[in-house]
């Protein structure tokens, strides 16, 4: 097959971008994507589709988000800053001092993408914040802080046990992965329908799945893109996403 043919055949993977106040070589604010995520999708045979997170003043146009996703074959929900606690604890919720980089526009857009991806049956991989977004979208809650520097998972690589036969275990080809983590929040109450398929040794939920999902869905709390270039089990998550996205989606017919 020619290079042009391979490129044309690449399934389009929606990858919501992140707002950035400053970016090297750009004079003003930017929207950015972690290169490691885009590279992992490309290695898997997909085409990263960078979606601008448009939701002015935190108000999202659900129909517009659905229409933009209609051209895509899969979704990759990336990591990023914290979700505002008011989304899962109510408008008057107290905010822990460790909560950072909250952005109403980002929150609204990511939640809309998660809802539509699941409702429409788009193969979806959710990473770190992405896992938390899905959990909140399905009515779950988060622990705003895991207990300070001694208990958070920042700049940590640790083992995660996966449920035998789960989608995450099949994608990685193993029941134990060494996970690169960077987060100070984690799942508290599970969202509707979600099941736990991975935990760290300290009990932190590290992987979630949705048995009743209309398409392939896996969410991991760690950052598989960090080590994917040299760790086949981590790259396997992106390979599985792109492989599933390669099949025509019934909802798009």
Q: Is 225 a catalytic residue?
A: yes
Per-residue H/E/C for the chain: CCHHHHHHCCCEEEEECEEECCECCECCCEEECCHHHHHHHHHCCCEEEEECCCCHHHCCCHHHHHHHHCCCCEEEECCCCCCCCHHHHCCCCCCCCCCCCCCHHHHHHHHHHHHHHHHHCCCEEEECHHHHHHHHHCCCCEECCCCCCCCCEEEEEEEEEECCCCHHHHHHCCCEEEEEEEECCEECCCCCCCEEEEEECCCCEEEEECCCCCCCEEEECCCHHHCCCCCHHHHHHHHHHHHHHCCCCHHHC
Q: Which of 128, 152, 153, 209 is catalytic?
A: 128
Q: Which of 153, 183, 184, 223 is catalytic?
A: 223
Q: Which of 47, 152, 206, 225 is catalytic?
A: 225
Q: Is 153 a catalytic residue?
A: no
Q: Which residues are catalytic, by number? A: 128, 223, 225
């Amino acid at each position: 097959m020619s290079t042009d043919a391979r490129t044309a055949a690449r399934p389009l993977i929606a990858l919501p971008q992140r707002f950035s106040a400053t970016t090297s070589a750009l004079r003003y604010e930017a929207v950015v994507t972690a290169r490691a995520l885009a590279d992992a999708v490309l290695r898997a045979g997909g085409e990263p589709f960078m979606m601008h997170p448009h939701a002015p003043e935190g108000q999202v146009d659900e129909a517009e988000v659905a229409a933009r996703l209609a051209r895509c074959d899969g979704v990759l929900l990336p990591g990023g800053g914290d979700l505002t606690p008011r989304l899962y604890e109510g408008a008057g919720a107290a905010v822990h001092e460790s909560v950072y980089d909250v952005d109403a526009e980002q929150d609204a857009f990511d939640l809309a993408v998660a809802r539509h991806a699941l409702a429409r049956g788009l193969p979806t991989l959710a990473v770190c914040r992405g896992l938390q977004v899905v959990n909140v979208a399905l009515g779950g809650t988060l622990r705003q802080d895991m207990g300070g520097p001694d208990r958070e998972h920042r700049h940590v690589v640790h083992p995660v046990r996966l449920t035998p036969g789960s989608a995450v275990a099949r994608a990685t080809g193993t029941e134990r992965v060494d996970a690169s983590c960077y987060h100070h929040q984690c799942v508290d109450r599970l969202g509707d329908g979600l099941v736990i398929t991975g935990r760290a040794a300290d009990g932190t939920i590290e992987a979630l799945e949705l048995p009743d999902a209309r398409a392939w869905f896996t969410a991991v709390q760690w950052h598989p893109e960090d080590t994917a270039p040299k760790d086949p089990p981590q790259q396997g998550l992106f390979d599985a996403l792109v492989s599933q996205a390669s099949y025509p989606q019934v909802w798009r017919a």
